[in-house]
Amino acid sequence: MKSFSLLNGLILLSIVLVCFSCETSKNTSALETANELILSKPDSSLKIIRNIDSASFHTSRWKAKYALTKAIALDKNYIDTTDAGFLLPALNYYKRFGSKEDLMRAYYYYGRIQYNNKDYKSAVVSFYSALDASVNVANPKFKGMIYGALADTHNKNHNNKDELKYALLAYNSMEDTGDSTQINLARYKLGIAYHNNRFLDKADSLLSLVRGNDYLVNEARIALSDNEIQKEPHSASRVISLIESTLEANGRMELKHYYEYAYALVEDGRTNDANQWISILSQYPDNAKTYWWKYKIAEHNKDYRTALCYLNSFSEASDSVVVKKLEQSLYKAQTEYYELKTDIADAKAQNARLNTIIIVMLSIIFVSFLFIVFKKRRQKIIDENNQLRLQQEEAARMVKRLKRQGKAEKDKYEAQLSELRTDFARMYRKQFDEIIATSANHFDPSTLSEKAKKAYSEKYSALITELIDPQKQNEFETRLNDDLDDIMKKLRTDFPEFSEVQFRFLTYIIAGFDASSLAFLLNTSKNNVWVRKSRLKDRIFNSSSTNKDLYGTFII
């Protein structure tokens, strides 16, 4: 039962999430549609936005987009709202995320709402923030709108100098767009700024060029009349013509403009018409501007007492304007002070960044220097190693060449030695072959007579004695060593187990005696000689001696 309730709960939660997701998706889609229509059909866009529940957006991004879209739609429909709260989500979000263009728009429309609330000082700050955000934004039209808003706000703050500065920037920006409507509006505002700064001729030339819708043309026309009447000298008839054209077109006029009209009528000699207008206008409360024109009319009529009264009233009423201008001067001084502090802070931050960059660059240069030194050192080591390797290779080649030369010389020496040994062996064999031949041809030792033995002994006794006598045997062995590379010494060293009889037998073999000679010398049979010789050769040539090549030359 508990599991079933849990399952139902999960199903219900899933349904709620699906419905919530569908509703959110529906509202985001509607907001995208409103964005697409905001320029071509601003009224339809505003209608869609008003049908969207802003609470359906649960992310800061979509809340910001909804707030900014709503602000743009209200502006495009010429609805001046004073509720700045709805735009805060956009402002707070785009300060941290989003593009600079979105932040620029958010600050601009926030400033417009502050302007509508007559909070002109705060509006100026917002418009400046919008201008800062627009630095890298390629949108001259919107920049022109920001400049124009700054000009309007400085006008309200009685800051005529900055009003002219930003009105001129707005006009130049709008000229870059080629939008005739925006150009005419910027031209009108620039004309007003020139008028407020007492550049009356420039104001006249610009205001005379304003074209566009009837409202803007009438505003420019009444501004021209206001500008003309302040010239010295001025044309009263032109002022009258401009104001009457505005009246015929039902253009908007302030109370001061009607008094200007009355003053122009007085100057033009139409006193009755002027008095009729003054009678009508007296029903409305006066202000500094109406007192001024009443003073001008009384002065023109040479009613100096009345003129003095109106002048005093004008002075009293103007105190608030003077205070506002003083406040504006103080505000401007404070603004410039804080701007200077901001510039100093920015300069410090810039210097810190530059110091960081310099440190980083120096570090990079130092690391690069170390890298170059290391690379050169490494290359030097590589070159030295290569040179050493080449030297080693050259030394190895020289060693090989020397080895080859040594081997060739050794081979040559061994060949000469072998040839010498062969010559010695041949000599010994020749000597003993002679003994053997004589023995074979002349006698058989067993049958020799005493006379024959004596003759034989006289001829060969020295040689035979050398071979048989032990002392002579040593001398014979020494001679073999001297002549044949110490052959007997090597045999005695390699085979210490051999007996003296065996070494003597080996000397006979090395000397070149054949089996018959050995049988004769040893007084034994040939077969016995062969057997003994064969056994000794087997032991010698089956041994591990390093002198087997030498032995093989003579022991055959």
3-state SS string over 404-449?
A: HHHHHHHHHHHHHHHHHHHHHHHHHHHHHHHHHHHHHHHCCHHHCC
| Type of residue at 475 | E
Which of 20-24, 103-107, 140-144, 167-171 has the least mean pLDDT? 20-24
Per-residue model confidence (pLDDT) at position 270: 92
More confident of the two residues 259 and 446: 259
Per-residue model confidence (pLDDT) at position 402: 78
Mean pLDDT, to the nearest integer, of 278-302?
A: 88
Per-residue model confidence (pLDDT) at position 153: 94
pLDDT tens per residue across span 140-150: 999 999 999 99
**Conformation bin of residue 81: beta by default, left when phi > 0, alpha when psi is -120 to 50:** beta
How does residue 23 score in pLDDT terms, banded at 50, 70 and 90? Answer: very low
pLDDT tens per residue across span 157-175: 999 999 999 999 999 999 9
List C-alpha distances in Å: 509 to 17, 87, 503, 555. 119, 128, 10, 6
Count of beta carbons in the 10 Å neighbourhood of residue 293: 24
Distance from C-alpha of 136 to C-alpha of 139, rounded to nearest angstrom: 9
Residue 439 in this model has a pLDDT that exceeds 70: no
Residue 4 in this model has a pLDDT that exceeds 50: no
Residue 458 in this model has a pLDDT that exceeds 70: no
SS in 3 state form for 61-107? HHHHHHHHHHHHHHHHCCCCCCCCHHHHHHHHHHHHCCCHHHHHHHH
Residue 419 in this model has a pLDDT that exceeds 90: no
- The CA R_g of the chain, rounded to the nearest whole Å, is 66
Q: Give Cβ neighbours of residue 75 (< 8 Å, ≥ 6 apart).
A: 109, 112
Mean pLDDT, to the nearest integer, of 302-307?
A: 87
Which of 331-340, 369-378, 392-401, 489-498 has the least mean pLDDT? 331-340
pLDDT tens per residue across span 464-477: 555 566 667 787 78
More confident of the two residues 406 and 549: 549
Distance from C-alpha of 380 to C-alpha of 73, rounded to nearest angstrom: 73
Per-residue model confidence (pLDDT) at position 7: 54
Q: What is the Cα 177 distance to its own chain's centre?
A: 36
Residue 450 in this model has a pLDDT that exceeds 80: no
Under a CB-based contact definition with an 8 Å cutoff, are residues 541 and 535 in contact?
no
The percentage of residues in the chain with a pLDDT greater than 90, rounded to a whole number, is 20
Architecture of domain 27-119: Alpha Horseshoe (1.25)
Per-residue model confidence (pLDDT) at position 84: 81
Residue 285 burial class via C-beta count within 10 angstroms: exposed 0-12, middle 13-18, buried 19 and up: exposed
Per-residue model confidence (pLDDT) at position 332: 54
How does residue 447 score in pLDDT terms, banded at 50, 70 and 90? Answer: low
pLDDT tens per residue across span 347-361: 666 777 778 888 888
Q: What are phi and psi of 158, to 5 degrees?
A: 60, 30
The listed range with the strongest mean pLDDT (312-316, 404-408, 459-463) is 312-316
Q: What is the DSSP letter of 286?
A: P
Q: Which two tokens stand for residue 49?
A: 């936005």
Per-residue model confidence (pLDDT) at position 130: 92
Residue 414 in this model has a pLDDT that exceeds 70: no
Residue 331 in this model has a pLDDT that exceeds 60: no
Residue 68 in this model has a pLDDT that exceeds 70: yes
Rounded to the nearest integer, the mean pLDDT of the chain is: 80
Per-residue model confidence (pLDDT) at position 98: 82
Per-residue model confidence (pLDDT) at position 11: 54
Under a CB-based contact definition with an 8 Å cutoff, are residues 530 and 515 in contact?
yes
**Conformation bin of residue 121: beta by default, left when phi > 0, alpha when psi is -120 to 50:** alpha
Per-residue model confidence (pLDDT) at position 19: 43
Per-residue model confidence (pLDDT) at position 10: 52
Residue 189 in this model has a pLDDT that exceeds 90: yes
Q: What share of the chain is helix, strand, coil (3-state, %, to 5)?
A: 85, 0, 15
Distance from C-alpha of 268 to C-alpha of 243, rounded to nearest angstrom: 14
Residue 525 in this model has a pLDDT that exceeds 70: yes
Per-residue model confidence (pLDDT) at position 20: 44
Residue 248 in this model has a pLDDT that exceeds 50: yes
Residue 183 in this model has a pLDDT that exceeds 90: yes
> 233: cis peptide before it, omega within 30°?
yes
The candidate with the shortest Cα–Cα distance to 52, out of 32, 38, 72, 74, is 32
The candidate with the shortest Cα–Cα distance to 291, out of 263, 268, 324, 265, is 263
Per-residue model confidence (pLDDT) at position 469: 64
Per-residue model confidence (pLDDT) at position 504: 84
Under a CB-based contact definition with an 8 Å cutoff, are residues 104 and 134 in contact?
yes
Residue 16 in this model has a pLDDT that exceeds 50: no
pTM over 0.85: no
Residue 521 in this model has a pLDDT that exceeds 50: yes
